[in-house]
Amino acid sequence: MVELDLSDWEKVYKKINVKKLPWFNPKLDFDIQEGIEKYSIKKSSILNLGEGPGTQAIELTKLGFKVTASDISKNAIEKAKKLAIKKKVKIDFKVDDILDTKIRKKFDYISDRGCFHVLDPEQRETYIKNVHSLLNKKGYLFLKCFSHKEKSLKPYGFRPSEIEFYFKKFKILDIIETSFSIDKKKKKPLALFVIMKK
């Protein structure tokens, strides 16, 4: 298992082969895939924030979404850009801190797989305010984060009631108890997948 210092994202992405990162998923996350199918989501603009290795952004582009992919780490964005070129897909990449976002465009969808749960508790309010303002009216937010039931590998984990508490600005449609596994049959690490609407 690789040792990770999550207080320095540049170092994480500079030193480590992204395929060795515990969150690396070469396929589209199965919860995101099912959320898109369940709500018959129209393939329009989506912001994939905290995009990391870029695999989720690439898979969303292949499905027909117009993807903007942002991450606080320049190294992550550079690696993801190379992968997108290799996969022959067009993505609008941005080095951007969601807590001080410079993105001025609005999106029909925002997808966050594993960014909210790495933020410190005092940063959550700013995150929610910024994500809310980056969404178009009636836009969807897909949020995947660790569950409070997961005892290993996590910065922060959440109870469904905490998600309801933090995301009061949104209408919560689903809170699904799930996992961060690549294979749906494997039940660990325990996660929540939340679908919300502005």
Ligand X SMILES: C[S@@+](CC[C@H](N)C(=O)[O-])C[C@H]1O[C@@H](n2cnc3c(N)ncnc32)[C@H](O)[C@@H]1O
- Catalog residues that contact ligand X under the rule CB under 6 A: 9, 23, 49-53, 56, 71-73, 76, 97-99, 113-115, 118
Shortest separation between residue 148's beta carbon and ligand X, angstroms: 17
The one-letter amino acid at 180: F
Shortest separation between residue 87's beta carbon and ligand X, angstroms: 15
Comparing CB distances to ligand X, the nearer of 120 and 137 is 120
Comparing CB distances to ligand X, the nearer of 64 and 155 is 155
Shortest separation between residue 99's beta carbon and ligand X, angstroms: 5
Shortest separation between residue 105's beta carbon and ligand X, angstroms: 16
Shortest separation between residue 168's beta carbon and ligand X, angstroms: 21
Instruction: Give the Cα separation of 94 and 174 in Å (integer).
Output: 29
Instruction: Give the Cα separation of 91 and 66 in Å (integer).
Output: 7
Instruction: Give the Cα separation of 41 and 73 in Å (integer).
Output: 29
Question: Nearest Cα to 62, choosing from 39, 36, 96?
Answer: 36
Two tokens, residue 143? 């949020």
Question: Which residue lies nearest ligand X, judged by its C-beta?
Answer: 52
Contact between 169 and 132 under an 8 Å Cβ cutoff? The reply is yes
Comparing CB distances to ligand X, the nearer of 60 and 118 is 118
Alpha helices in the chain (DSSP H): 9-15, 30-38, 55-62, 74-86, 124-134, 160-166
Comparing CB distances to ligand X, the nearer of 50 and 157 is 50
Comparing CB distances to ligand X, the nearer of 3 and 137 is 3
